[in-house]
Amino acid sequence: MAMAASIVVVSLILAAFILQSLFVANLERSVKGDLEAALSRLVALIDPAAPQPAISAPLPDPRYDTPLSGRYWQIEDLDSSEIARSRSLFDVQLVNLQPRDGGTFHFTGPNDFHLILVSKAIELGSRHFRVTVGQDHNEIHAAGIQFAWEVSRLFSLLGLVILALGWSQLWLGLRPLNRLRDAVDTVRRGDIEQLTGRFPSEIEPLVDEVNALLVERQALAERARRRASDLAHGLKTPLAALQGIAMRLHDRGETSDAGALDDLAFEMSNRVDYQMRLASLRTRSPDHRESSQLNSAILRTMSVLRKTSGGELLHWIAELSEDLHVDIHRQDLMELMGVTLENAAKWASTKVVVYTARQATTAIIRIADDGPGLAPNLISRLGDRGIRHDESVPGSGLGLAIATEILELNRGSIRYNISDMGGLMVEIRLPVAIR
């Protein structure tokens, strides 16, 4: 559009300059025709018998007899250098002329006295004369300037109209690309699997290529999930066999070896489960937008945990603000709330409190429990993969690590502190969805 605007502006300026030049040239040609007619009449009126250059009768145009009226004539006797001139020239004499017979030329005198002249050398009997007729050029100049202003105003309006039409054409031409962008964004949000709708024939090949790429990506992702699932199931059998061997060793009294094998199988099983849960997370690009209801995810997770053996003994308190929509996929949000609330339920003594609030474009979720808590020097290590701070409680130490992974994928953050109830307080920050 900038290039088109530049071309339009430059073209209109050149066109205006050319039109103004043509207009002035046309005026000068018209004036030349009048001057040549006046020159012919003036030649016919010259009295060759007069001792000094003179005309036998005045020209019919009264401007020749009015001082500085704009029309002038001069007759020069080339033999005696005597000069006769119209009264309109007043006290100005046309000197040092370098005329071209039959052509126009210009004369500039004092006080911006600018004339356009036609001159011709003639011979009457034995006498030689140079006859010159002229007109004030300032009128032509003023008419040219006035014409230039009118053309400038016209071309300015024309340029605005052309640019507006060009912008409209560009906007209409790019609308299908905007629809294509929206369709791609819908695919990335997971609402549809392929681009649908009618598109112009110019971008249909692009739509087909994108759909083919989506099909290929979906096939690769499905193949990767199947392989991960096959790997997980393939490892479950050897792990179950290891646990069986550990049980037989324990029955034979070899408790040390049995405990080592059992711990190894348990750790491997947790690692497989951790990788499977990470594989289910949705990869996002910086401009990928999502929208999920925060309160709904919290209440559903709390409802599930209240039915567990440990959760049914706890008092669950939800201090929820407005129903916020956060920029995270629903599946990832459910996983995030699941691991953080499950961790709180695991350590809480009597109650778990969930608090939500909004701060500008950020949703804040605080999860606190009244459990034993942690020393300040250990809080900074929470969320590190595989770190457990109490071996007496079942678990792998991977729950908060999964929460960290989820928040890193969704431009969120997580912090840990000591709650007012003495236990752990987890603060999660997520961007609010743009709706």
pLDDT of 244 above 60? yes
**pLDDT score of 287:** 55
d(C-alpha 103, C-alpha 36), whole Å: 9
Contact predicate 98/63, CB 8 Å: no
Q: Estimate to the nearest angstrom the gap between the alpha carbon of 198 and the chain centroid.
A: 25
Full set of structural domains in the chain with CATH = 2-143 (3.30.450), 204-279 (no CATH), 292-431 (3.30.565.10)
Contact predicate 362/429, CB 8 Å: yes
**pLDDT score of 214:** 85
Half-sphere exposure of 102 (CA within 13 A, CB side): 0
pLDDT of 65 above 90? no
> Residue 12 phi/psi, 5° resolution?
-70, -35
Q: Determine which helix (DSSP H) or strand (DSSP E) holds 407, and give its type and residue range.
A: helix 399-409
Half-sphere exposure of 285 (CA within 13 A, CB side): 7
**What confidence tens digit (pLDDT) does each residue in 203-226 have?**
888 888 988 988 888 888 788 777
Beta strands in 298-350 (DSSP E): 315-319, 325-326
**pLDDT score of 390:** 47
Coil vs helix vs strand at 339: helix
Tokens of 70: 């704009």
Contact predicate 108/96, CB 8 Å: no
d(C-alpha 374, C-alpha 390), whole Å: 10
**pLDDT score of 392:** 43
Beta bridge partners of 351: 315
Contact predicate 255/226, CB 8 Å: no
Q: Which residues contact 60 (CB under 8 A, 6 or more apart)?
A: 41
pLDDT of 149 above 90? yes
Distances (CA, A) of 12 to 147, 164, 168, 187, 327: 15, 15, 20, 46, 51
Coil vs helix vs strand at 43: helix
Q: Average pLDDT of 89-105?
A: 69
Other C-beta atoms lying within 10 Å of the C-beta of residue 426: 23
Tokens of 217: 């990506």
In one letter, which amino acid is 274? Y
**pLDDT score of 395:** 46
Coil vs helix vs strand at 327: coil
Instruction: Tell whether the torsion through CA atoms of 411, 353, 341 and 263 is positive or negative.
Output: positive
Contact predicate 268/396, CB 8 Å: no
Global confidence as pTM: 0.47
Coil vs helix vs strand at 383: coil
**pLDDT score of 101:** 60
d(C-alpha 68, C-alpha 58), whole Å: 17
Contact predicate 24/148, CB 8 Å: no
**pLDDT score of 286:** 55
**What confidence tens digit (pLDDT) does each residue in 255-280 have?**
887 788 877 777 777 677 766 666 66
**pLDDT score of 92:** 75
Catalogue the long-range contacts made by 29-33 (C-beta closer than 8 Å, 24 or more residues apart): 31/104, 31/116, 31/135, 31/140, 32/104, 32/116, 32/118
**What confidence tens digit (pLDDT) does each residue in 390-429 have?**
444 444 456 788 888 888 888 899 998 888 888 899 999 9
**pLDDT score of 288:** 63
Q: Are strands 104-109 and 351-359 parallel, antiparallel or unpaired?
A: unpaired
pLDDT of 64 above 50? yes
In percent, the amount of the chain with pLDDT more than 90 equals 22
Contact predicate 292/325, CB 8 Å: yes
Contact predicate 396/267, CB 8 Å: yes
